[in-house]
Structure 1
Amino acid sequence: MRIFKFGGASVKDADGVRNVVKVLQTTGYENTLLVISAMGKTTNAMEVVVKNYFDNRDAVPAAIQDVADYHLGIMEELFENKNHPVYDRFQELIGELKGFLAWNKSPKKSFVYDQVVGYGELISTAIVSAYFHDQGIVNTWLDVRNYIKTNNEYRDAKVDWDHTQQRIQTGINTKILNITQGFLGSDENNFTTTLGREGSDYTAAIFAYCLNADSVTIWKDVPGVLNADPRHFSETRLLNTISYREAIELAFYGASVIHPKTLQPLQRKEIPLHVRSFLQPEVPGTMVSKGKGIEPKVPCFIIKKDQVLMKLSSLDFSFIVEDNISEIFRLFHDYRMKVDLIQNSAISFSVCVDNKFDKLEDLLQTLRSKFKVSHHENVTLYTIRHFNEESIKSLQNENRILLEQRTQETVQLVVQ
């Protein structure tokens, strides 16, 4: 049993969908389950629908039409028959989306977000499944929401593992090719939930764990896990093998190739994870498995942009001690701020956070009632694993360093 995950870049257009067929013809697809993301930048387009729903209702129909036109363009290239059943299925899904926005009474943005954004994955997999059938690749389309059950923490739902495992093990025929969606689940009331942005990798790991899969393969537009993002660094190296422990460290610091949640379930059952290129399916790429460190052992650069650096100190110049720190972290939790770096002294506490839920102003207002606060927005956090002095200098020469922190294996720099 194998789990393959194809991200949005792999199915961003008709040629991409055709290429997925070539990948399967190269690798084989018996006893395989495919997890497929929304096409291209569809999730971003769906987020525009959500934003307009709350800020400018008159703009919602045009935003939905943009999503529809993008997918219709891909479908027209893939399906010569304009009466193909896939068009009816597509219109049915678009109708469900419009229907939800018409009858919804909830003012909760996270709830609305999950009900809307998930249609990107549902549409994508419906198109891919139909095209596979036309190419002679028999498959079963699965609605992942019937299998991955979660709590109702919308936009960052937690998996109910017992319920999920029971549904996956009893409800899926592993002897055939199955196609399902990444990123999505459902709560006890069958409302759609999402597992966090880029959560499709996690979906693949959930299925692998529950089905005792032999392997998971994430198909990317890069040859494997690189030591740096080629969009930001001109010279990169392919990492041939990575241990679970090292991969978890890289994911924790924000390496974009592997989702932070993906590795834990795979490690528990020692299921190897392969990261391979859908442009070169014959190349082995990177394998993450039980082992030692990384090979080759070179500095690994991780970038997190649009961060917020905050410095807090007590109003009366007293020490920042356990009581203060616990209160600060409680507030970060309440305002859903992910903490990426911490540094403290006797009377100050510095922290770099990710404001992904756009709650910074509310948090700052609360903090200022209790602490003296200064902050820098739109800063960049660089993390270098297995650093050397040359790797640090390469960043110091070009940026204004606001904060630096080192451990034995890792250095972090906040720059502006």
Structure 2
Amino acid sequence: MKVFKFGGASVKDAEGVKNVSLVLETQGFENCLLVVSAMGKTTNALEKVVQNYFDKNDYQSEIEKVKQNHLEISNGLFQENHPVFAEISLFFDDIESFLRRNKSPNYNFVYDQVVSCGEMISSKILSEYLNDIQFKNTWLDARDYIKTDNYYREGNVNWEETENKIAELDKNLCYVTQGFIGSEDNNFTVTLGREGSDYSAAIFAYCLNAEAMTIWKDVPGVMTGDPRKFENVSLLSNISYEDAIEMAYYGASVIHPKTLQPLKQKNIPFFVKSFVEPKKPGTKVGNGGNFQKEESYILKENQNLLRISTRDFSFIAEEHLSKIFALLAKNKIKISLMQNTAISLELCLEDKYGNIDELNKELQKDFQTELLKNLSLYTVRNAKLEDLGDFYKNKNILLEQSSNKTIQVVTN
């Protein structure tokens, strides 16, 4: 069985949905499971709904904007009396109903119940359209199959239960389902982390023992740098799982960090291809073969640099590190880069949940700190040290680290 994942850019409008069928014509639709993201910028729009709800602002008008966008897309795909229109309206009625009844003050819980609707609606529209044009498929609610804990917005998969449920699927059929979402023991929705649809596809591929998994992007494949950020980039046509995992860890946006481990465990070939040019080979990620070791550039934005030192200039010892890491875990803040000396620790941090100021406040009870925000982390892999002059030009380097032909610098 093959697993295909289509991101939001590939289904952002009616023409995009139609193009999915053209991609399937080139690839074959037999024994296939499609994982689809929310359409276009829907996730951002639904995040605004949640924010307005907690700020006690007008969230109903924001819901209506998202609804009208989906109805407009559907007008370009279906006849006027198609039942999909009633289903779309029902999804949005459910969002409003949930927010009216909700008593929970937990932002992350509310976020998951609302924002997840983007994938539910997009997958329903795609499934109905494909059925209408004779790409026969069954729509699945991914929450019935991917089971997680209740770590809202960053759910951890219960692999045993998930495998048992996905094993019940008939591998001779075709399916359309959602990325990004699962559910906990009480069947409340739990999302798998921002941009987590790639991970959803990998979960299904792992549990189905898929013959291959492909994600369809608006770029030719995995490049030596984001073409929107760097010049003169080229395609990496064949790379190892290890290189792809490293690139994802360092922040390469084309691959979600959690995607590759499940595929590597079962040696499932992984492809990144362009939905604009589906016949081109794209990038293959796998084991064995002559892998490319091209110099590659990765940019991770919206980073924070936290400098920590002891008040009495004593060494940063194990008990200090233990306290610091415990506070990082408590505030759900991830380390992108770390460097320490005898009396100081410098951390480049990713603050997904907006807790960096609270972390800094707690640390200042025991340490001296300096916090710098809105920074960029550049990573150069397979670096050619003699050719890095242009890379360093016009950059104010706040932190630098190098190891095994990988160079990382934090700049403002």
Report the TM-score, using the length of structure 2 for normalisation: 0.98
Amino acid at match of 2:268: I
- Select the residue among 311, 315, 319 that pairs with 1:319: 315
Amino acid at match of 2:61: A
TM superposition shift of 1:390: 5.1
- Select the residue among 130, 150, 173 that pairs with 1:176: 173
2:189 corresponds to 1:192: yes
Counterpart residue number, 2:131: 133
Amino acid at match of 1:114: D
Work out the CA distance in 1 between the residues paired with 2:332 and 2:170. 38
Counterpart residue number, 1:214: 211
Work out the CA distance in 2 between the residues paired with 1:164 and 1:380. 37
Amino acid at match of 2:226: D
Counterpart residue number, 2:242: 245
TM superposition shift of 1:394: 2.5
Work out the CA distance in 1 between the residues paired with 2:228 and 2:304. 22
Structure 1: gaps of 5 or more residues: none
Instruction: After TM superposition, list the pairs within 5 Å mapping 1:3-402 onto structure 2.
Output: 3-57=3-57, 59-79=58-78, 81-170=79-168, 172-291=169-288, 294-295=291-292, 297-389=293-385, 392-402=388-398
Deviations 1:157-184 (A, max 9, x none): 00000000000001x2221210000000
Amino acid at match of 2:31: N
Q: Secondary structure at the match of 1:68?
A: helix
Work out the CA distance in 2 between the residues paired with 1:173 and 1:398. 57
Work out the CA distance in 2 between the residues paired with 1:20 and 1:391. 41
TM superposition shift of 1:292: 6.2
Counterpart residue number, 2:407: 411
Work out the CA distance in 1 between the residues paired with 2:291 and 2:411. 27
Q: Secondary structure at the match of 1:274?
A: strand
Q: Secondary structure at the match of 1:78?
A: coil
TM superposition shift of 1:391: 5.1
Work out the CA distance in 1 between the residues paired with 2:389 and 2:117. 45
Amino acid at match of 2:156: K
- Residue 292 and residue 248 in structure 1: after superposition, are their counterparts in 2 closer, same or farther (change >3 A)? farther
TM superposition shift of 1:325: 1.1
Amino acid at match of 1:364: N
Work out the CA distance in 1 between the residues paired with 2:366 and 2:220. 49
Work out the CA distance in 2 between the residues paired with 1:326 and 1:300. 34
TM superposition shift of 1:299: 1.0
Structure 2: gaps of 5 or more residues: none
Q: Secondary structure at the match of 1:250?
A: helix
- Contact 2:360–2:371 (CA under 8 A) maintained in structure 1: no
TM superposition shift of 1:365: 0.6
Q: Secondary structure at the match of 1:5?
A: strand
Deviations 1:187-229 (A, max 9, x none): 0000000000111000011011101000000000011100100
Work out the CA distance in 1 between the residues paired with 2:288 and 2:244. 11
Q: Secondary structure at the match of 1:235?
A: coil
- Contact 2:384–2:405 (CA under 8 A) maintained in structure 1: no
- Residue 369 and residue 293 in structure 1: after superposition, are their counterparts in 2 closer, same or farther (change >3 A)? farther
Work out the CA distance in 2 between the residues paired with 1:315 and 1:391. 41
Work out the CA distance in 2 between the residues paired with 1:391 and 1:78. 51
TM superposition shift of 1:395: 2.6
Deviations 1:282-310 (A, max 9, x none): 01110000136741x22111111010001
Amino acid at match of 1:223: P
- Contact 1:183–1:194 (CA under 8 A) maintained in structure 2: yes
- Contact 2:180–2:191 (CA under 8 A) maintained in structure 1: yes
Q: Report sequence identity in percent.
A: 51
Work out the CA distance in 1 between the residues paired with 2:212 and 2:322. 40
Work out the CA distance in 2 between the residues paired with 1:227 and 1:294. 13
- Residue 340 and residue 189 in structure 1: after superposition, are their counterparts in 2 closer, same or farther (change >3 A)? same
Amino acid at match of 2:233: T
Deviations 1:36-64 (A, max 9, x none): 0000010000100010010034x111110
Work out the CA distance in 1 between the residues paired with 2:299 and 2:115. 26
TM superposition shift of 1:272: 0.8
Report the TM-score, using the length of structure 1 for normalisation: 0.97
- Contact 1:246–1:294 (CA under 8 A) maintained in structure 2: no
TM superposition shift of 1:265: 0.6
Work out the CA distance in 1 between the residues paired with 2:386 and 2:143. 48
TM superposition shift of 1:120: 0.2
Amino acid at match of 1:236: V
Work out the CA distance in 2 between the residues paired with 1:339 and 1:291. 31
- Contact 2:74–2:125 (CA under 8 A) maintained in structure 1: yes
Deviations 1:365-407 (A, max 9, x none): 1011111000110000001111113553223102111111000
- Contact 1:4–1:219 (CA under 8 A) maintained in structure 2: yes
**Number of residue pairs matched by the alignment:** 412
Work out the CA distance in 1 between the residues paired with 2:104 and 2:294. 50
- Residue 376 and residue 294 in structure 1: after superposition, are their counterparts in 2 closer, same or farther (change >3 A)? farther
